[in-house]
Structure 1
Amino acid sequence: MKKNLIVLLILLTSTIANAQFIKEKSINAQIGYGITFPSDSTDDFADEGFFAQSELVLKITNWVDFRPYAGFIITNSNGKDLDGNPTNQIAESQAFLLGVKSRIRIPIPYVAPYAEVGIGTSIGKFRTLTRFYNFDKTGIIYHIPFSLGLELGRKHNVDISFTYFYQPYVKQYVGAFAAGLTFPLN
């Protein structure tokens, strides 16, 4: 199953990248404040870290583009909840992220709001320890990326977003508040 998912992502990415309906190609690079939190918990806690990602932007129209991506996230527990109180609950990830997303934007001059969704795989170490779950996994799992953000500037080449990856196999969300720049390839 895991090998089939990786092969499917590689085939899909290579097919889309060479398609004739692609109008423009560019690279988007993002960095940000990473966070991991469980999908089911009675307490408010999250573990913090670092996020980085690069995307190949394949523009189809002003409204839609495809984005094969590769990135990583590293979050570690500090033993505290969001209010600064001690907790023994943990939601950590050290993972390489790989997949493809589709972005739908409203091309307003200077500020273009957007939403993204896709499918991908996380490769690494995942730990979720709550009152309901105890996952300590290493390997390959699938994730569902989704983002909300703004493209800023005259050419919409500055990107600010909330980007998240739902990892149902380990009952956690990983994500970031990220900022990025887009560089045209044409």
Structure 2
Amino acid sequence: MKKNFILLTILMISCLAQAQFIKEKSINIQIGYGVSVPYYSVDEIADSGFYLQGEYVLKAASWVEFRPYAGLIITNSNGKDFNDNPTDEKAESKAFLMGGKARLRAPIPWVAPYIEIGIGTSIGKFETYTAHTNIHKSGIIYHIPLAFGLEFGRDHNFDLGFTYYFQPTVEQFAGAFAFGISIPLKS
């Protein structure tokens, strides 16, 4: 059964590789303010840090793109909640992110809203410590990316948005408010 599944997967990938439905290709670089937040918390906290991601953009139509990605998120606790009160609760991520997403975009000139969803993996160190949770994990976990924002510019080469990586294994989500720029690749 496992051999049949592997054979079917290889066959599907080779068929997709030969398909001519990709109209344009580009590289998208995003940088932003990273955050990580626990699912369950008594104190309202969000640990902050840095976010960087690169995507290989495969445009299938004016309204749909496929985006394999690789990125980095590093967040650290400052020991305070939203009201600047001291707290022991934290949700820290120091991880390499990779996976694939699909972006649906309204084909509107100059400013186009978008939403994207996918599946990926986080490789790194994660800590979620709250009154309800005490998780310290290093290694590989899965995540579910979800993002929304606006593409703007004549060719939609810039984007500004919110991106989140839901990490159920460590009961937190990491995310960012990020700015991106797309660089078209010649065929």
Q: TM-score, length-normalised on structure 2?
A: 0.90
- CA spacing shift, 1:126–1:86, aligned 2, 3 Å: same
Partners in 2 of 1:145 and 1:15 — Cα distance? 26
Mapping of residues 106-117 of structure 1, within 5 Å: 106-117=106-117
CA 1:14 to 1:120, structure 2 compared with 1: closer, same or farther past 3 Å?
Answer: farther
Q: Structure 1: which 4+ aligned runs deviate by more than 2 Å?
A: 11-19
Establish whether residue 133 from structure 1 lines up as the match of residue 141 from structure 2.
no
Q: Could you tell which deviates more after superposition, 74-83 or 13-22?
A: 13-22
Structure 2 residue runs without a partner (length 5+): 1-10
CA–CA separation in structure 2 for the residues paired with 1:98 and 1:174: 13
Deviations 1:7-34 (A, max 9, x none): xxxx998875664211110000000000
Q: Give distance in 2, aligned partners of 1:72 and 1:14.
A: 29
Number of paired residues?
177
Within 2, Cα distance between the matches of 1:55 and 1:141?
20
Q: In percent, how many aligned pairs have the same letter?
A: 62
Taking the aligned partners of 1:102 and 1:131, their CA distance within structure 2 comes to 36
Deviations 1:21-60 (A, max 9, x none): 1111000000000000001223210100000000000000
Say what the alpha-carbon RMSD is for the aligned residues: 1.9
Residue 61 of structure 2 aligns to a residue whose secondary structure is coil
Q: Which residue of 2 aligns with 1:85?
A: 85
The structure-2 alpha-carbon separation of the partners of 1:17 and 1:153, relative to structure 1 and needing over 3 Å to count, comes to farther
TM-superposed deviation, 1:81 = 0.6
TM-score (norm 1): 0.91
Unmatched runs of 5 consecutive residues or more in structure 1: 1-10
- What corresponds to 1:164 in structure 2? 164
Contact 1:17/1:58 (<8 A) preserved:
no
Match of 1:180 in 2: 180
> Which residue of structure 2 aligns with residue 8 of structure 1?
none
